Structure 1
Amino acid sequence: MTNLCLKTIDPWFYKFVSLYFLLISLQTFAQQGNYRFNNFGNRSILLSGNVTGSVSDLGLVYYNPSFLTDVENVGFSLNAKGYQLVSIKLKGALNEDSNLDNTSFKGTSVMAGAVFNLLGTRFVYSYFTKANNNINLNYSSYYLNDDILSAFPDAEKHNAKISLQSNNRDDWTGITWAKKISDNFNLGISAFASIYNYSGRSDLNHTLQSTDNEVAFYQNVTSFNQKSYGIFIKIGANYHFPKFDLGLNINLPNIGVYNKGSFNYSEVLSGVDPEYNLFVDNSFNDLSAKRKEPFGVSIGAGIPIKKGKLHLNVDYVSGLAQYSRIDIPDIDTGESTLTPVNFDEERKTIINFGVGAEFFLKENFKAYGGFSTDYYALVDSANIFDLSSDGTKNINVGDNFYHLSLGVNWKLKWANLIMGITYTNGSNNFVSPYSLDVDGFDIDNNINSTIKYTRWQFVVGIDVPIFSKKVKEIMNKKDKSGSEE
């Protein structure tokens, strides 16, 4: 084969497929860079999370623990479970006429918990998945074009494969306690243990066969993993005024208990010419790592209007100065000097607001609706896409979202049934991070592309008052009727 490095055929293929990864990665980055992307608690979901001053379900553990003194003893509660339809479209990906889209349908996260009394004090035990997203993209193609043949005139067959993965999961388990300070003033606190795992992997392969049956091979693998155990604390307060309720919730920065990371980078080039043969393998374990979550304050009000209620909410979340999520040493890439690897994150200050409404229809039937903003906080994001890019640009994918919700609460003798739908929409201009000028394949990084994200969630939840007097009465009636027979 000609004495040309096989890596010369890599850029355009990798960049084209990476744009598709960039597209479907929006959902993962949204869960890390947007603070209101997911809501928790049956009624709280239908009110778009605007319940800091009026929460009345299990969501109080997250939105304002002080309302534990007021909420009905629901016993066991299962957060709204359902499915979501997500559509992401990128218009003008490589040129003005090129479009990419991705649609997925999957289940939503579940929150569960129970209210119980201990030593005359009320507590709540709760568990929920705060974030969970897995992306696995695999692409394979056999192709020979003029660009490859100009570099390898005797090429007969070429196969290129790329695999890109990004996995992010954050599970919270907590205990909530509240105390009535006076007839109108309450305080509460929630403490959550967080188990957080974040990983990514990029695997690129090229195999080239010549007419005389010689084979050249190129492989590039980059991967990282971050594991973090930490504690999140929320402090809530509420005051009952004559005509409305006012609530305050303080979200303290996370307390890191355990943080470790790993990073791997390998590159193999063989079969082109001994001059170009390459094998580098970098593997680092037990690296110093950090996970930072900012300080935040939420203020909300619940305003009764006849038999309904208006819910107002404002959230403030502070920014974070740039820091390294994983401290990765300089790596060997086959060059004369070691190559630095940056895995940095930075966040800006965010203020979100929202409004919810509760409508009385019948004594056992209520309707809910809500709207909230959800602005993107990440300035720099640490992700596998950055680590895999051969450019110097930070590839930061994110969007400002707007959430709408609508649903009903049907109160039965033995339970409360919650049914509803939520809608999320976001659209933003996007400038391609790539610039490539190869005959027959041009990527213009001056094109203003548009990313559009939509999500529909269909949810059903249930509150079962297992420990309430009402259930005991029902069971007693059944026992009496059974004994009479």
Structure 2
Amino acid sequence: MKRSLQLSILCIGVCLSLAAQDSHYWSQQFGTRSALLSGAVLGGANDNSMIFYNPGALGYLENSSISINASAYSIGNIRVENALGQQADFESVQIGSVPLLAGGMIRTGDEKWKIGYGIITPVDFSFKGIARLDNSYEVIDDTESPGLEELVAEAAVTTKTSEIMLALGVGRQLNDKWSIGLSNLFSVRSHSYQRNFSTYVFMNDENRTLVGANQNQNVEYYNVRYAAKLGLVYRSGEWSTGLTLTSPSINFFGNGTLANNIAVRNLKLVDDDRISGVATARQAELKSTFKSPFSVALGTNYTKGRSYAGIVVQYFNSIDPYEVMEPMPGTFVRPAELAPELQSDRFLRNRAGAESVLNVAIGYEHQLNESLALLASARNDISYFDESLNDGPGIKSTISSWDIYHFTAGVNLDHRQSSISLGLLYSTGNTGRYEQPGNIDPSNINLVEGSTTITEARYGNFGLLLGYTLNLDRRTNSNDLE
């Protein structure tokens, strides 16, 4: 009786990225105090993180120039059980640092108008893993190769996704209760993905015939896009409420490369004779497209004595699947007579898309004295991964598809014209429906690309947030809302 074997995937990463993933909108939070509150500051905060959260609150800022720098350091663990088989793991260790926000304000002649700028890192995700299997199994029918065959298999995945966003915002205070603003968001996205999969079987015949296959996939591109965020703030007494509308992105420019190479040796397809051949294609300088959805956010903040609380709800619209790059048809299989109907564009396609998402964040701050405050927050971070992207041929370059829940606690120390923030971060998530390609099952082996299995994925992350804020021409305490 043939035995079944599966490889498992394990990623243990040390990366400074606040549990950043490649299919989430809220992995990163920005600023110092705002990050400790998980972004539950739509009603306004006295720092230029409002350029990102709600430009409508810029009109209320009392500081003529503010500079914020914050970094997050974290250790994360990704585990996908039985993803490639039980006897081989993927492992990945990464160390780095990510600035969450750096920016400032520009002085204007009219105190009602405020202009700000900021550079943020909304996405920073990397994964490297390799798994290897070397053992004997019953792979080939005994009529050709009696007994167990020696099988050597290896899989490797390397991917990195990052975005840098430049935000230019302007806000105007209309009166004591109303303020409006607009942020222009310019995003530069870079993505690289490589997957290598190889299997080799030695037949038990006179020649010890080698049967095997290799597959190498590669996606690399950069893209520049623009979106506008309109913000509105209403303040009355102890309450402040904010509303933002973010437009779908407009694609500016970008290009990239797609490659898919398959080589087989002495492979038997159904009842045909064993064949050898290659299927290979590479297309460079392809125009790239990446889309961000329309979103709307509503939040309110309440200040009473030394306590400050906030809640925000943000809805992200869905995006229909689309081609990140559009390859041209061409010869894929060589010799061509092996499969003339197979064209390269079908196997090079790399699609993206997004399901609709609703995220919620709550934050609380208690001022112990004039200088020291305690902060805590929680938020969900629903994955926008569209499972329909798993259907059909092509290169599937997204790793994460699980929902994440973030918890943050820390302190903010105010001192004259500066403040320091220190926080601890914890994130967790899992899914029982993770689709993982490349499973090795000798009882029904696909030597070319393995098989796709449904497995369980678990995610955990611990992190440290360090932030520093410098306020110039400071007029009010950074925790005051009015």
Q: TM-score range by the shorter chain?
A: 0.7 to 0.9
> By how many angstroms is 1:403 displaced?
1.6
Residue pairs, 1:8-407, within 5 angstroms: 16-17=6-7, 20=9, 31-73=21-63, 75-91=65-81, 93=83, 104=93, 106-110=95-99, 111-120=101-110, 121-147=113-139, 160-206=153-199, 218-269=213-264, 276-330=275-329, 332-333=332-333, 334-339=338-343, 340-341=346-347, 342-380=349-387, 387=394, 397-407=400-410
Paired residues of 1:113 and 1:126 also in contact (CA < 8 A):
yes
Q: 1:267 to 1:122 in 2, by over 3 A?
A: same
Is the deviation greater in 214-223 or in 66-75?
214-223
**One-letter amino acid of the structure 1 residue matched with residue 384 of structure 2:** A
Contact persistence 2:132–2:153 (CA under 8 A): yes
**TM-score calculated relative to the size of structure 1:** 0.79
Distance 2:130 2:392 in 1: 14
Native 8 Å contact 1:92 1:99 kept in 2:
no
| Structure number having the greater helix percentage | 1
> Unpaired segments of 5 or more residues in structure 1?
1-11, 471-485
Residues 353-401 of structure 1, C-alpha deviations (whole Å, 9 max, x = no match)? 2211110101111111111222222224769997468xxxx99841222
User: What is the deviation of 1:260?
Assistant: 2.7
Task: Report the secondary structure of 2:58's partner residue.
Answer: helix
* Cα-to-partner distance string for 1:289-335 (whole Å, 9 max, x where unaligned): 32111101111111112122111211111112222222234562452
Q: Normalising to structure 2: TM-score of the pair?
A: 0.79
Alignment partner of 1:462 is 2:468: yes
Instruction: Measure the CA separation in 2 of the matches of 1:47 and 1:414.
Output: 21
Q: 1:238 to 1:99 in 2, by over 3 A?
A: farther
SS at match of 1:363: coil
Q: Is the contact between residue 347 and residue 377 of structure 1 (CA under 8 Å) also seen in structure 2? A: yes
Contact 1:202/1:222 (CA < 8 Å) preserved in 2?
yes
Answer yes or no: is the 8 Å Cα contact 1:429–1:451 preserved in 2.
yes
- C-alpha distance in structure 2 between counterparts of 1:404 and 1:431, whole Å: 24
- Bigger mean CA deviation after superposition, 201-210 or 147-156: 147-156
The answer to whether the Cα contact below 8 Å between 1:401 and 1:424 also exists between their aligned partners in 2 is yes
Return the offset for 1:246.
1.0
165-174 vs 427-436, which moves further = 427-436
Q: Secondary structure of 2:98's partner? A: coil
More divergent stretch after superposition (346-355 vs 417-426): 346-355
Asked if 1 retains the 8 angstrom alpha-carbon contact of 2:61 and 2:114, the reply is no
Write out per-residue CA displacement over residues 31-62 of structure 1, whole angstroms, 9 at most, x where no aligned residue. Answer: 34222111111111110111111333232111
Give the distance between the partners of 1:194 and 1:57, measured in 2 at CA: 22
Distance 1:99 1:154 in 2: 24
Give 1:196 shift. 1.0
Structure 1 residue aligned with 2:480: none
Q: Distance in 2 between matches of 1:230 and 1:119?
A: 32
Q: What amino acid is the match of 2:237?
A: P
Calculate the aligned-residue CA RMSD, in Å: 4.0
2: distance between equivalents of 1:261 and 1:67?
Answer: 38
CA distance in 2, matches of 1:227, 1:395: 15
Which of residues 424, 430, 433 is equivalent to 1:430?
433
Choose 334-343 or 292-301, whichever is displaced more.
334-343
Q: Work out the CA distance in 1 between the residues paired with 2:389 and 2:286.
A: 15
Cα drift, residue 416 of structure 1 = 0.3
**How far does the alpha carbon of each residue in 1:155-198 deviate from its partner, in whole angstroms, 9 at most, with x for none?**
99875443322121111122221111222211111112211112
Task: Look up the equivalent residue of 1:227 and give its one-letter code.
Answer: Y
The whole-number CA distance in structure 2 between the counterparts of 1:230 and 1:139 is 36
Structure-2 separation of matches of 1:298 and 1:180: 20
Number of aligned residue pairs? 446
Q: Alpha carbons of 1:360 and 1:302: their partners in 2 closer, same or farther (altered >3 Å)? A: same
Deviation at 1:462, TM superposition (A): 0.4
Name the counterpart of 1:451: 457
Correspondence 1:415 to 2:404: no
Q: Indicate the SS of the match to 1:67.
A: helix
Aligned residue identity for 2:473: S
Question: Matched residue of 2:402: which SS?
Answer: coil
Higher strand share: 2
> 1:244: how far off?
0.7
CA distance in 2, matches of 1:309, 1:315: 20
Identity %, equivalent residues:
17
Aligned equivalents of 2:232, 2:328: Cα separation in 1? 45
Q: For residue 197 of structure 2, what is the amino acid of its counterpart?
A: L
SS at match of 2:368: strand
